[in-house]
Structure 1
Amino acid sequence: MVTCHPNDSLDQVMMHHPVLLIEVLSPGTESHDRVWKFSRYTQLSSLQHYLLVSVNNWLVEWYRREPSGVWSYTPLASQDDAATISELGIVLPLADIYTELDMVPQLDKPRT
């Protein structure tokens, strides 16, 4: 979780104004994270980016709040893909996210 709000640094337990949330999905809680948490998190007016990181394959699901307030969805699955979080000035390449795992990206199947 990343916040830029000065009051969040005063609370050592909880951040109330996150800009970015990254959720690593586990098989036991994936449904809860996708439905219950997502519906709660997207109600936070400060939240601009919500990333769901799969542990089963190279997949980061990137939800971002557009200027209109609508949430857009971008699946990232290639070793060349990256989430660019302009509000924080950071780029999160999938290759860096999955670097420590014994996992390779799935290659597209050749067309026949």
Structure 2
Amino acid sequence: MIAAKDNPPNFTPEEYFVWESQQLEKHELINGQVYAMTGGSKNHSLLAARLITLFTTHLEGSGCETATSDLRVNIAQTSNYTYPDVSVTCDERDKTTTQYITYPCLIVEVLSKSTEAYDRGGKFRMYQNNPVLKDYLLVSSTSIEIDLYHKNDAGQWMIINYGAGDTIELKSINLSFPIEQVYRGLTLTPEA
């Protein structure tokens, strides 16, 4: 969730890590500029937590790791760092880093009105640089709707739209689940 651009000078990744460790909020680093992260709604938090729990339980003992929005993702072959809502890595190379991962196979963004265009556009274009990423899940926080961007075996990205009654299939982690499993009990109202 990118909110507003701060106006510090361009940062190297090393300068960014030092600077951000002294900040109260999280910031993404994109092309040397930092962007403050906004807080999310109650539904945003609940949806992310449910997906993290679902993935962690499913992947127990597999060697894969599920991370919250507190873990940065380095955009492969760049100096850009983002904070997705949920990420999963099964790549051994990510076990050697402590402040970020670079090779997630699955990334989840819970959508809000202020971030949806960026999550679907610019952020997804950056994530496509990752050679290991297979599934990019965009989760509505206002209606029972999930869009899955899946990279097939030919390397092409396909979009699959899920709604009420559908079963989500995440080939990246070999998991299928009914969409209602993550939306149960939520009060869904369109954003103003």
Q: Where on the TM-score scale, by shorter chain, does this alignment land: which range?
A: 0.7 to 0.9
Note the 1:92-103 alignment, pairs <5 A.
Answer: 92-103=177-188
- Distance (Å, rounded) in 2 between the aligned partners of 1:36 and 1:92: 28
Match of 2:169 in 1: 84
- The amino acid of 1:28's aligned partner reads S
Cα deviations by residue, 1:53-83 (Å, 9 ceiling, x for unpaired): 01121100011001111111110002x3122
Match of 1:43 in 2: 129
Structure 1 residues 87 and 30, CA, compared in 2 at 3 Å: closer, same or farther? closer
- The amino acid of 1:67's aligned partner reads D
Match of 1:26 in 2: 112
- Distance (Å, rounded) in 1 between the aligned partners of 2:186 and 2:149: 23
Match of 1:14 among 100, 104, 113: 100
- Distance (Å, rounded) in 2 between the aligned partners of 1:34 and 1:73: 11
Unaligned runs of 5+ in 2: 1-86
- Distance (Å, rounded) in 1 between the aligned partners of 2:121 and 2:98: 27
The structure that is helix-richer by fraction is 2
CA RMSD of superposed structures (Å) = 1.6
Cα deviations by residue, 1:14-55 (Å, 9 ceiling, x for unpaired): 110010111101111111111111100111100000010011
- Distance (Å, rounded) in 2 between the aligned partners of 1:13 and 1:95: 33
Quick one: percent identity of the two aligned structures? 29
- The amino acid of 1:64's aligned partner reads H
When normalised by structure 2's length, the TM-score is: 0.50
- Distance (Å, rounded) in 2 between the aligned partners of 1:15 and 1:82: 29
- Distance (Å, rounded) in 2 between the aligned partners of 1:59 and 1:51: 11
Structure 1 residues 100 and 3, CA, compared in 2 at 3 Å: closer, same or farther? farther
Of the structure 1 ranges 41-50 and 91-100, higher mean CA displacement relative to structure 2 is found in: 91-100
Match of 2:51 in 1: none
Match of 1:108 in 2: none
Unaligned runs of 5+ in 1: 105-112
